[in-house]
Amino acid sequence: TSFALSKPFTESLITWFKPSYIVTHCNFFSLQHNAKVAVLGASGGIGQPLSLLLKNSPLVSELSLYDIAHTPGVAADLSHIETRATVTGYVGADQLGDALKGCEVVVIPAGVPRKPGMTRDDLFNTNATIVATLADACARHCPQAMICIISNPVNSTIPITSEVMKKHGVYNPNRVFGVTTLDIVRANTFVAELKGLDPARVNVPVVGGHAGKTIIPLISRCTPKVEFPADQLSALTGRIQEAGTEVVKAKAGAGSATLSMAYAGARFTFSLLDAMNGKEGVVECAFVRSEETECKYYSTPLLLGKNGIEKNLGLGKLSVFEEKLVAEAMDELKGSIKKGEDFVANMK
């Protein structure tokens, strides 16, 4: 029997089955790309599985793992995996500069996660300083790198990163991303569950920010097209907005989403690397500097290219329900952005 492999399936084969073998023996796939990627916060709940997924990708040739603890062990462990990416662990502030030298992409999941009853903004006091310190090091040691921030509250940590880069005169708004991919991943999964679809084939753009009601899924723009009665649409939207809290509650004090976040962080990083390698038509949503709404930073679908954001595809056409969600999120989003900017303005 013969059958045609679907594209996602062939891609997953390439990702999961001995990429080094495929790279060596199937030149027509042209997968041999070189990219040095750093993970800052690599020993954490997200950092470890994210580093594993990156180590497993033929798109990565060097993996630089930084944390304030445990990275030598994580790096030694990952370095035994039979893929070509070389892995180096760096531990403590003294080694941060070396970890970043020559990096094209830096992914940052460093910082504390939520416990039950906490909002993402409750993490601000701890994580603002951590992200500012790491952004400062990026500005000094790899100012051209793509910086992907996972650390919460994303609605404030992106303005913080941008302001720190500005202070060093190296800010490029096309290269600083707040990773909101997990919201898209969750929206795709929940829509697929309700409609009996294959989640790999569902795509729901999610715009706005990355906290509670600032997370705005555009179900009206889902592909394939789906319809829900008003009450179900409202419940689905609420579930996507509070999906992070669902995990925080289920983990009962042991942290927030780590495995699904590692998957989402890897998906975003691979999209970025694909686009940097010249693949055309790569689109991901991310929280970035934006002129698309009255908010200075906003997540919308972005066409990615060799230099980061190639084109902001904007909000596009919204339903009346979605327009209301966008309007209702503005004040909170503006407040979180200002809080991040003020933090850097007041830094010594």
Ligand X SMILES: NC(=O)c1ccc[n+]([C@@H]2O[C@H](COP(=O)([O-])OP(=O)(O)OC[C@H]3O[C@@H](n4cnc5c(N)ncnc54)[C@H](O)[C@@H]3O)[C@@H](O)[C@H]2O)c1
Note the residues at the interface with ligand X (CB under 6 A): 40-41, 43-47, 67-69, 109-114, 123, 127, 130, 133-134, 150-152, 154, 179, 182, 210, 255-258, 261
CB atoms within 10 A of CB 253: 9
Minimum Å gap between C-beta 264 and ligand X is: 7
Q: How far apart are CA 241 and CA 346, in angstroms?
A: 31
Give the nearer residue to ligand X in terms of CB position, either 59 or 130: 130
Question: 149 or 165, CB closer to ligand X?
Answer: 149
Largest Cα–Cα distance of the chain, in whole Å?
A: 69
Judged by beta carbon, residue 91 or residue 219, the one nearer ligand X is 91
**Is 27 a known ligand-binding residue?**
no
At position 220, the amino acid (one-letter code) is: S
Of 262 and 282, which has the nearer Cβ to ligand X?
A: 262
Tell me, yes or no, if 33 is annotated catalytic. no
From 210, 207, 177, select the one nearest 308 (Cα to Cα): 177
User: Residue 261 Cβ, how far from ligand X at the closest point, in Å?
Assistant: 4
42 is in an annotated binding site: yes
The answer on whether 30 is annotated among ligand-binding residues is no
The least CB distance from residue 65 to ligand X, in Å, is: 10
Question: Is 67 annotated in some ligand binding site?
Answer: yes
Residue 228: both structure tokens together = 């829900």
Indicate the SS3 state at residue 19: helix
Closest C-alpha to 159, from 326, 296, 302: 296
292-295: long-range contacts at Cβ-Cβ below 8 A with a sequence spacing of 24 or more? Answer: 293/326, 293/330, 294/330, 294/334, 295/330, 295/333, 295/334, 295/337
Smallest separation, CB 62 to ligand X (Å): 19
Name the binding residues for substrate: 114, 120, 152, 186
Would you please indicate which residues are annotated as catalytic (active-site) residues? 210
Name the binding residues for NAD(+): 41-47, 67, 127, 150-152, 261
